[in-house]
Amino acid sequence: MTRTLVSPPSTTPRAIAAFHTSSVLYALPPKKKSNIDGPPKYRQAKSARMKKKNRVERPRPPPVGERRALRKRIVLSNPNALEVPGMLDLSSQTMVDESLHGSVVGLPVPMLDQLRAVQAFKPKQGWSIFRRPGTVMRSETLEMGRLFDTIGGDGEDKGKVVKRVITGLRGSGKSVHLLQAMAMAFVKKWVVISVPEAQDLVIAHTNYSPLEGTDPTLYVQGDATAALLFRTVAANKEVLAGLRISQQHPALKSLVKPNMTLEDLANIGIRDHAAAWSVFQALWAELTATAPAPGLDKNFKARPPMLVTVDGLAHWMRNSEYRSAEFEPIHAHDLVFVRHFLSLLKSGVDKPTLPNGGLLLYATSASNSPSIYSFDVALKQIAARQAGVAPSSPDFPQADPYARADARVLDVFASKKPRSAKEGPLELQTLGGVTREEAKGYMEYFALSGLLRENINDEWVGEKWTLAGGGVIGELEKLGRRVRVIA
């Protein structure tokens, strides 16, 4: 009988292919982890120990106002740029010289402090890429220079009042046009009063209080008025120091002294913000006076013409961020600061708004401007009246009755025919691109400053003029400041 031999089962596991997923046969059970360290010691924590993170020292934030100062810093000189040979300065002769059309003239160095005082320079205007500040004498600049010459001269247009609202595309040079006007006014020894940013007065960043005795209630901004007085004194110190008090000021009877200069009068409002608005009214009455009050005719001098500039006009055409005592929004026209400067656009009742002559230049902003339907309609109406379209004509632009246009905004620009022959109507001036001749002179200025290494000819200028949207000077600056190195 044959016996079948059966081998006993092996205690070692059989090999399994590496790709198999089943468990190993006869695998030994896992051993329990033994506590080698033994039980916890006396007063020893049983929980897991957490590693302490290294403390990272964060840098201290910059002081208050440093970031804003850096953002608004104005650099007017680049020592690495070349000095442009033969560049003339802006003067009474060069501002009306037709032979300088299309060329760049420099701003006089002593005048830079005055222009800084009225905040005429803007941070993004490219002043820091040249050796010294200069400006292009475009056709609008020469036309404005002739206005300054005739208003301050001895001709029949002496003492004339010109009112303009300046509009245009972004980068067309509206703010620089205001700067050119301020520079010409300083050359002619005029008094310059400037509102560099209209937006700052309506965004609730300065204090305000109701004005007593007004119905409806008006509001005073003491700090903003004191800042305006400070800019006016810093820029017109030489002129204001030579003029003395010639009118009665009952509201400042205890503060005004005989033979006080207008500089001393303005300094009262700078020191005391509560009296700043009354001081500004007194200063405005003095600058617009044509004859002295009885008993104050000693040392009276004729007042010079005035230049009033406002940049960013559209921000004044809607409700401000301020609130009344009933938490109702306050319209920008209920702020006496804004109300005063907007009232200058209307025709004077008995005498011109500027009896001694001057210019009112109010500019809009294309880069920082709210969309306001009433303001757009008002500008179209100004253009229609300037073109000779009567308000009764069917071609005269009217506001859509369903658009809820602000009647207060339309009333500001609905100026009637001036009663005085010296006061002109409200005009609309639209700045466009510069001509090819002006663009060529501007590009040559870049080349002479060492920023361009190109052959400035008519073909090259025509190409850049086209790329700049038809001569938009802001776009020409971007093209001119790209340095090209020839291999």
Which band of pLDDT confidence, cut at 50, 70 and 90, is reported for residue 1?
very low
β pairing state of 134-136 and 161-168: unpaired
Q: Which strand (E) or helix (H) includes residue 210?
A: strand 209-210
pLDDT band at 68 (very low <50, low <70, confident <90, very high): confident
pLDDT of residue 487: 43
372-383 pLDDT, tens digit each: 999 999 999 999
Identify the pLDDT of residue 37: 57
- The tokens of 367 are what? 């880069």
3-class DSSP assignment, residue 306: strand
Domain ranges of the chain: 140-429, 436-482
Average pLDDT over residues 401-429: 89
Written as six digits, the tokens of 406 are: 């602000």
User: Per-residue DSSP letters for 223-255?
Assistant: HHHHHHHHHHHHHSHHHHHT-B--S--GGGTTT
Concatenated DSSP letters of 115-129: HHHTT---TTS-GGG
**pLDDT digits 0-9 by tens, 454-484:** 888 999 999 999 999 999 999 999 888 765 5
Residue 23 confidence (pLDDT): 57
Reported as a single tens digit per residue, the pLDDT across 226-238 is 999 999 999 999 9
pLDDT over 80 (residue 171) = yes
Q: Across the beta sheet with 306-311, what order do the strands follow? A: 191-195, 306-311, 358-363, 161-168, 423-431
Using the predicted structure, report yes or no on whether residue 156 has a pLDDT greater than 60. Answer: yes
- 134 DSSP β-pair partners: 106
Give the tens place of pLDDT for each residue, 108-143: 999 999 999 999 999 888 899 999 999 999 999 999
Reply yes or no on whether the pLDDT at 7 is more than 60: no
Spatial CA neighbour of 474 closest among 165, 141, 124, 76: 124
346 and 415 Cβ atoms separated by less than 8 Å: yes
Residues 281-295, mean pLDDT to the nearest whole number: 93
Q: What is the C-alpha to C-alpha distance for residues 190 and 440, in angstroms, rounded to an integer? A: 33
Among left, alpha and beta (phi > 0; psi -120 to 50; other), residue 422 is: alpha
Q: Which residue has the higher pLDDT, 15 or 457?
A: 457
Q: How many helices (H) and strands (E) does the chain have?
A: 14, 11
Q: Other C-beta atoms within 10 Å of 420: how many?
A: 17
Percentage of the chain modeled with pLDDT above 90: 68
SS3 of residue 7 by DSSP: coil
27-41, 55-69, 343-357, 461-475 — most confident range: 461-475
Task: Write down the pTM of the prediction.
Answer: 0.85
Q: Nearest Cα to 286, choosing from 299, 271, 273, 270?
A: 299
Q: Which pLDDT tens digit goes with each residue over 299-329? A: 889 999 999 999 999 999 999 999 999 999 9
- Specify the pLDDT at position 233: 97
Asked whether the beta carbons of 220 and 338 are under 8 A apart, the reply is no
Residue 393, token pair as written in the block: 């004509």
